Structure 1
Amino acid sequence: MLPKVNQMLHYQIASSDEEEAAIEYKSRIADEQEDGLLIEIPISEKTGRYKRLFLGDELSVFFVSEDGIKNYFDSHVLGFKEDGVKLIKIVKPEPDRITKVQRRSFLRVPAELEIAVKMSNQVRFVCKTDDVGGGGISLVCDANWPLAAEQTLECWLLVPFRNGTIDHAFFKGEIVRVVELESGRKQAMIKYASIIDAERQKVIRYCFEKQLEYRNR
């Protein structure tokens, strides 16, 4: 069963910040296209505030069918359309990808991976991640780097795979939150503001490999 026009979607948005990733939003399906659904700007079910979405944002979605059953699927933002009001285009789910079992919001694993960062003032530095996932990463760096919420960074993540190959995943990230650590360093939670699917898939592949590694211990 596919969601229909005028049906309400409820979802969470991928974020490396656990508090933000737990927030539930809702929006109405305004129109349908062959390859996507056009939805209205999401609104927080708790606060009533609108949420800005970015190209590539991952969504964990459910809708309620007429018999009261929740149907879950994963999607991501494909683009935007102005039609009197701003609409957001997301991937339409394949019928066999819809499940009545709740999915985990987003796969994220602890990982100390090397990451090169370039700030908007052209300052560059290298540090390590604290965790990585399909929706974003968190990193730990020296306290002297002037990181702040809403800053945009260019990042190159070093991604090692189980077969011994090493790749780089490039993305532009937006800092969600910065925390001062007891060690005197700082931790930055970053969500992907811009990342192409091929680069995101490198990170997701790494996460799945690590998850399998943990299960086999």
Structure 2
Amino acid sequence: MYPKISDQLFMSIDSGDEKAAGIEYKSRVADLVEDSMLIEIPLQEGTGTTKRLYVGDELSVYFISEGGTKNYFNTYVLGFKEDVIRMVRIRKPDADMITTVQRRSFFRVNAELELAVKTESMTRFVARTDDVGGGGLSFFCDANYAVKEGEALSCWILVPYKNGNLEHVPFKGEVVRVNKVENGRLHSMVKFTSISDMERQKLIRYCFERQMDFRNR
């Protein structure tokens, strides 16, 4: 499903600057053509400041369709069009490159990512994830870092993208299940209880890239 003319788009600009990449902008679809979209100049959420884009800028975008479904895709700036207002031309993604995500319906992918954990008792440790998704994750840790079902955790996860960028994604979660596995380690499943839409989008983008890698093997 593609956005329609006048639909709002919410986006972040892929950047090596972690702070800049975390800023959310909004725009509106002005026109759709065969292989591109024309959008209004993006405005920063909260301040209304315009964002100057350049040809080649990579964008992580989502739009909301009927029923509150969020639809995510990645694209880049192709050029500009001068009309009554200046518009930005971005590449129209292939239909199968748009990830449709409904509330409580996030797919997960196997991934060994670095996870920093802080427990309710202020114990801190670094673990490796087993899988990751937009709604939660699971991780392995040594038994001496005993986490309990129902425990609240404060974490960040290091997310690498195919273009070489790295993102630190913070979230709060709740342990929903803990199992002992080989070598006495613990396997803990966590659901997100507090994560911003933009941070969740970063994880969904990573999952989508991983899914495409699996399909192409």
TM-score, normalised by the number of residues in structure 1: 0.53
2:152 match: 152
1:122-161 map, 5 Å: 122-161=122-161
Relative distance call for 1:97 and 1:204 in structure 2 (3 A) is closer
2:109 match: 109
Partner SS, residue 203 of structure 1:
helix
Partner SS, residue 168 of structure 2:
strand
1:172 match: 172
Counterpart amino acid of residue 202 in structure 2: K
> What's the offset of the Cα at 1:179?
0.3
Which of structure 1's runs of 4+ aligned residues deviate more than 2 A?
95-98, 103-106
TM-score, normalised by the number of residues in structure 2: 0.53
Partner SS, residue 158 of structure 1:
strand
Q: Which has the higher contact order (CA 8 A, sep 6+)?
A: 1
> What's the offset of the Cα at 1:106?
2.5
2:203 match: 203
Relative distance call for 1:96 and 1:181 in structure 2 (3 A) is closer
> What's the offset of the Cα at 1:196?
0.7
Unaligned runs of 5+ in 1: 1-91
Counterpart amino acid of residue 143 in structure 2: A
> What's the offset of the Cα at 1:183?
2.3
Counterpart amino acid of residue 66 in structure 2: E
> What's the offset of the Cα at 1:135?
0.7
Q: Deviations over 1:139-178 (max 9, x none)?
A: 0000111201000000110000000000011000000000
- Cα distance between partner residues in 1 of 2:146 and 2:67: 47
Q: Deviations over 1:81-129 (max 9, x none)?
A: xxxxxxxxxxx9517969xxxx994210000000000111211000100
1:212 match: 212
Relative distance call for 1:198 and 1:96 in structure 2 (3 A) is closer
Counterpart amino acid of residue 206 in structure 1: Y
Q: CA RMSD in A?
A: 2.2
Relative distance call for 1:96 and 1:142 in structure 2 (3 A) is closer
Q: Deviations over 1:172-203 (max 9, x none)?
A: 00000000002210000000011110111111
1:12-91 map, 5 Å: none
Aligned residues: 122
- Cα distance between partner residues in 2 of 1:95 and 1:141: 39
Counterpart amino acid of residue 208 in structure 2: F
Unaligned runs of 5+ in 2: 1-63, 71-100
Partner SS, residue 187 of structure 2:
strand
* Bigger radius of gyration: 2
Relative distance call for 1:125 and 1:213 in structure 2 (3 A) is same
2:55 match: none
Relative distance call for 1:145 and 1:204 in structure 2 (3 A) is same
- Cα distance between partner residues in 1 of 2:68 and 2:156: 35
- Cα distance between partner residues in 2 of 1:142 and 1:189: 14
2:38 match: none
> What's the offset of the Cα at 1:134?
0.7
2:163 match: 163
